[in-house]
Structure 1
Amino acid sequence: MEKKVKIPEVPEELFTERLKLRMPKPGDGKVINAAIKASMDELKPWLGFVLDNPSPADTEINTMEAHILFLKRENLRYLIFDRETDEFIGSTGFHNIEWDMPKMEIGYWISTAQSGKGYMMEAVSTLTDLALNSFGCRRVEILCDAENLKSRAVPEKLGYVMEGVLHNDELSVDGKRLTDTCIYAKWQ
């Protein structure tokens, strides 16, 4: 008999001092795709979905799939918007969710135009607090390429512990070389 896991209440929107984080909705693909296109050079080394230069239709399909996964509580992507202007900033969310543990991983990317303003730190801090204090997670992880210094700065500034480096753990996004993965975590 399979054990039924109780999933906590998951907010569809979160607010910080400057940001609104909300689940993806049909129709969001256009603004997300525009941010991807404007940020191609910065995102391409780290994110596989950028390599294929997604069309607005591709991004809309991905957004609708993310909406469904959010509703099923299998993957909780949040889109990040400026709270005052409603301008799209980036994306973050919970991946590799294990509700029975509970533990999860936080991933993120930001539009180049919004980088360096502390937005991602604010968003990831909010998700970390949600995971540990509202969801009762015993562990929250952030994994990133060892060479992605901007991505690594987020968990380091938020007090995550770097537990180690997995050497030759992944192929680079372009498939041409082996990369190392840094593992950061917070737990309670």
Structure 2
Amino acid sequence: MMQASFNTVPTFKTKRLFIRPPKEGDGQALFESLQTSQNELAPWLTWVQQFKHAGEAEEGVRQAYRDFMQLKDLRFHLFELESGSFIGSAGLHEIKWTVPRMEIGYWLDSRYTGKGYMVEAVQQLISFAFYTLQAHRLEIRCDPKNEKSRAIAEKLHFQLEAVLIENERCTYGPGFADTCVYSLIASTYKTT
């Protein structure tokens, strides 16, 4: 299977969101959002505390853009359409172009949770992955205790395929954590 390529950098507008790849200058908004949401995100995402200041977040943004353009990792930044505020990120990760298969990952600034924004964003990514990138399989992986992440997968008709037992180090305490593996196959998506 041939790897996808872009003639133009993909951007999307949904009913309430503007979705685009990271770009230079996003570091400050990213850093502030992570600082605000650290307590909610840190139990599930080990990298949240990685950025100690906005400059490090800016370098992370620049690396994310390079990875995007090289089709290694397709991270998108989410902006509230009405206000223009940065509200989080969603992306296609762990890409295996030979299948093609990819994992959808996402997080939202805690000030914007409970409004359905992430479902709206992930719906757009699913469509992009299946129709533009010709993905065969999408996965969402999360800790079984991460009820918000699980709810998004289930709302978008991903099937719980497996629970991997103690396959990761626990991020919210000592010991090990399990991982739920949700999947959605292109043929199933196209018929729903």
Deviates more, 1:166-175 or 1:93-102: 166-175
Aligned equivalent of 2:118? 120
Deviation string for 1:106-130 (max 9, x for gaps)? 0000000000000000001110111
Identity of aligned pairs, percent? 38
Aligned equivalent of 2:4? 7
Aligned residues: 185
- Paired residue for 2:145, among 123, 131, 147? 147
SS of equivalent to 1:159: coil
CA distance in 2 between counterparts of 1:52 and 1:129 reads: 31
CA distance in 2 between counterparts of 1:26 and 1:175 reads: 35
Q: How does 1:128-139 map to 2 (within 5 A)?
A: 128-139=126-137
Aligned equivalent of 1:43? 41
Deviation string for 1:83-138 (max 9, x for gaps)? 12111110000001112211111000000000000000000111011111221111
1:70 matched to 2:57? The reply is no
SS of equivalent to 1:57: helix
Deviation string for 1:128-150 (max 9, x for gaps)? 11111221111000000111111
- Cα distance change, pair 11–184 in 1 and its aligned pair in 2 (3 A): farther
Deviation at 1:43, TM superposition (A): 0.7
Deviation at 1:177, TM superposition (A): 1.7
Structure 1 runs not aligned, ≥5 long: none
TM-score computed with the length of structure 1 as normaliser = 0.93
CA distance in 2 between counterparts of 1:96 and 1:65 reads: 16
SS of equivalent to 2:95: strand
SS of equivalent to 2:4: coil
SS of equivalent to 1:39: helix
Kindly indicate whether the alpha-carbon contact (under 8 Å) linking 2:5 and 2:71 is maintained by their aligned counterparts in 1: no
The one-letter code sitting in structure 2 at the alignment partner of 1:116 is G
Aligned equivalent of 2:190? none
Kindly indicate whether the alpha-carbon contact (under 8 Å) linking 1:80 and 1:88 is maintained by their aligned counterparts in 2: yes
Deviates more, 1:10-19 or 1:151-160: 10-19
Aligned equivalent of 1:164? 162
TM-score computed with the length of structure 2 as normaliser = 0.91
Aligned equivalent of 2:102? 104
Kindly indicate whether the alpha-carbon contact (under 8 Å) linking 2:79 and 2:85 is maintained by their aligned counterparts in 1: yes
Structure 2 runs not aligned, ≥5 long: 188-192
CA distance in 2 between counterparts of 1:151 and 1:54 reads: 26
